Amino acid sequence: MNFNLGDKITTKKPHACGERVWTVTRLGADVKITCDKCGRSVFLSKDKLISIIKAEK
């Protein structure tokens, strides 16, 4: 799975603020995503990020 800057990602479980939508803000060995509601940023490995993304139908 490929990610681009600015992509919106929907996670399986909500963040503590209740939001499920995150934006990709940095790419590299790890991917940085930012919560669209509260602005919290998190670095995740690509494998971990793929495992938390909600499957698209």
pLDDT in tens, 4-38: 999 999 999 999 999 999 999 999 999 999 999 99
Residue 1 pLDDT grade (very low, low, confident, very high; cuts 50, 70, 90): confident
Alpha helix segments (H runs only) across 1-57: 46-52
Query: Rounded distance, CA 40 to CA 16, Å?
Result: 10
Query: Rounded distance, CA 57 to CA 43, Å?
Result: 26
Residue 57 has pLDDT above 70, yes or no: no
Q: How many residues does the chain have?
A: 57
Q: State residue 47's pLDDT score.
A: 93
